[in-house]
Chains A and B, each alone.
Chain A
């Protein structure tokens, strides 16, 4: 028995080491950091403990801007992408021809480098002295524009950010929803057809309730993912997000840690914990709502 128990832990040792050093310890540490006032990363000293860091962060206009941006992004992209993905998945499930091709194409954004493809979106939307960009060309067809989506008004920038975010998160949602739809037992549809249910009724009374657990899973992960938005914004607007008013909460954390404004791990920790608290609250609310509405 002695030998056996030793052996089990031995196999587990590498995982424990990695997780201990890079997950468990930091998890404890981040709370400590967040309460250490005036921490100096060069001398590794601090003045005292307290909630000053939180007060600082919550009053920092950059953080408030990031908070606002993130909330707008979440509120727009989560319902939009989930709804659109549902629409596309239902369409995809109703066809035979070209289905595989469409599925493959729709999944492509998942395997692309967010930073790299973001550059393409940037040049599509950017207005420069040499060109208005393709997006403005299309806007021109409707008699509008031109607008500089990358360096121009706030809502134009927010539009591109939302657009790109939706583009990036769609593959995962389409994939998950398509497989959820495929797993609904066909006899339910046959039964409903014999019972004379219309297409819409079959969808709203049978399909939707049957995939509701998946739908809620997507909404929850969608919220979590959108709250952590960062690299999409960097791809579109560059690393200095504060300058372009497009920073996100995660972006604020990293800026506090490193870069031109960096060197404040205590502020970063406080911001990270605020983010975590927000995400946790939203997730709990989501779960409560889903318990009420997911039927089985």
Chain B
């Protein structure tokens, strides 16, 4: 099912009186989710990603704009008529019902012609449980399950009625680190098997990058960038997106462009073709540094972290916004941890230039 958002806007009345205090949680969102894809809605807390999810599910109604599932306008439909499956952040499993009863619940709500026979319901519930591999726990109560198992039950409950789209609200945030890794692969697998168009919300960029077909980066209710994860990572549209994606985070320097050359401090570090003379933000991915004896960028060395395949060089520079520069280089390099300074050259395609005021991409 293709999902289309058209000029979708959600405003909340503010605490005070008048239009100035109102909060715009979603501002004129326009995008299209292709059929059968897994989309990650990504952004810091308060960016409007949860609001967007609630608008999709129908739990909230937009102030203006339309939502289409396929060709059908669902904007005015209540949640139960939209055919969506929703997995809540805290799972919202009914504590007094067993796993089986929880999964059966949405089916038992069907009325009229859509109503299934008891046997078919049981069959479908079991099928959904098998899909998430909890068919051995059907008679347990939610309180008797681990966090990961509860998560699976929640997904099974959302999937059992074969929703047109599946929505996941921060699906991994309540799991510990090890389970998180495992569960996200699981979500990917289930999505691939069912081919249901899936939207999930997260504030963890690594999570979004690792499993999404596409990511949508949001900030202050506005979509910043949409694209395949690698695309967005390689070609961030503005400073916010560049900073938000990637671990360790991108290193941001105060720089200056003069005569199509980029200067950091007094050092001429790189060419900047087509960029007019102006102060800029120069952002360098951790893997964009090349260790070079007489590289143009000199930094004060604070430490070296050897991590098997890679070495992280930790350094400082007076013009760098980050408290510490982190450069990842191959372990084949030799770094003298006792040295005071370390010198780098930069890989041109790993360096982005942004406008100093608006943060828009220049190069």
Chain A–chain B contact at Cβ < 8 A: yes
CB distance A194 to B96 under 8 Å? no
User: Contact flags (1/0) for B65-108 with A, using CB distance below 8 Å?
Assistant: 00000000000001111001110101010111100000001101
Residue A196, interface by CB 8 Å: yes
Most buried by B among A201, A205, A210: A205
Residue A288 interfacial (CB < 8 Å): no
Q: Is B57 an interface residue (CB 8 A)?
A: yes
Residue from B59, B143, B161 within 8 A of A193 (CB atoms) = B59
Q: A190-B59, A191-B86 are in contact. Are A197 and B96 (CB under 8 A)?
A: no
**Contact in complex: A296, B92 (CB < 8 Å):** no
Contact with B along A169-206 (1 / 0, CB 8 A): 00000000000000001011011111111100100011
Residues of A within 8 A of B141 (CB): 296
The reply to whether the CB of B157 lies closer than 8 angstroms to some CB of chain A is: yes
Closest chain B residue to A195 by CB distance?
Answer: B106
Q: Does A295 reach chain B (CB closer than 8 Å)? A: yes
Task: Tell me, yes or no, whether A109 is within 8 Å of chain B by CB.
Answer: no
> When each residue 261-272 of chain B gets 1 if its CB lies under 8 Å from chain A and 0 otherwise, what string results?
000000000000
**Residues of chain A from 184 to 236 with CB closer than 8 A to chain B in the complex:** 185, 187-188, 190-198, 201, 205-206, 209-210, 212
Tell which of B81, B92, B110, B111 touches A187, judged by Cβ atoms closer than 8 Å: B92
Query: In the assembled complex, how far is the CB of residue B35 from the closest CB belonging to chain A, in whole angstroms?
Result: 21
Q: Is the interface of A mostly helix, strand, loop or mixed?
A: helix
Question: Given A190-B59, A193-B78, A193-B80, are A198 and B96 also a contact pair (CB < 8 Å)?
Answer: no
A39 to B: closest C-beta gap in Å: 53
Given contacts A195-B109, A195-B157, A201-B109, contact A185 B92 (CB under 8 A): yes
**C-alpha gap A212/B59 in the complex (Å):** 27
Report how far A103 CA is from B150 CA in the complex, Å.
Answer: 38
Given contacts A187-B88, A190-B88, A296-B141, contact A196 B109 (CB under 8 A): yes
Instruction: State in angstroms the CA–CA spacing of A265 and B197 once bound together.
Output: 79
Chain B at the A interface: SS class: loop
B59, B95, B110: which contacts A196 (Cβ < 8 A)?
B110
Chain A interface bracket (under 10, 10 to 19, 20 to 34, 35 or more): 20 to 34
Chain B contributes a number of interface residues (CB within 8 A of A) equal to 27
Closest-by-CB residue of B relative to A210 is B96
User: Is there contact, CB below 8 Å, between B80 and A195?
Assistant: yes
| B92 touching A197, Cβ below 8 Å | no
Residues of chain A with a CB closer than 8 A to B157's CB: 195
Min CB–CB distance B85 → chain A (angstroms): 7
Specify which of A195, A201, A206, A209 lies most central, judged by the most chain B CB atoms within 10 Å of its CB: A195
Q: Is the CB of A198 within 8 A of B92?
A: no
State the Cβ distance, A192 to closest chain B Cβ, in Å: 8
Q: Which residue of B lies closest to A187 (CB)?
A: B92
Nearest CB of chain B from residue A157's CB, rounded to whole Å: 43
Q: State how many angstroms separate the Cβ of A180 from the closest Cβ of chain B.
A: 14
How far is it, in angstroms, between the C-alpha of A261 and the C-alpha of B59 when the chains are bound?
67
Chain B residues near A188: list those with CB within 8 A. Answer: 92, 94
CA gap between A201 and B80 in the complex, in Å: 13
The A-contacting residues of B in range 103-159, CB under 8 angstroms, are: 105-106, 108-111, 141, 143, 157
CA distance A215 to B65 in the complex (A): 44
Which chain B positions have C-beta within 8 A of A195? 80, 105-106, 109, 157, 161
Take A187-B92, A296-B95 as given contacts and tell me if A197 and B105 are in contact as well, using a CB distance cutoff of 8 Å: yes
The CA-CA distance from A201 to B78 in the complex, in Å, is: 16
* Residues in B neighbouring A201, C-beta threshold 8 A: 108-109
Identify the B interface with A (CB < 8 A).
57-59, 78-81, 84-86, 88, 90, 92, 94-97, 105-106, 108-111, 141, 143, 157, 161
What would be 20 A-B contacts, judged by CB atoms less than 8 Å apart? A185-B92, A187-B90, A188-B92, A188-B94, A190-B59, A190-B79, A191-B88, A193-B78, A194-B85, A194-B86, A195-B161, A196-B79, A196-B81, A196-B109, A196-B110, A196-B161, A197-B106, A205-B94, A210-B95, A212-B96
The 3 closest A-B pairs by CB, nearest first: A196-B80, A295-B96, A195-B106
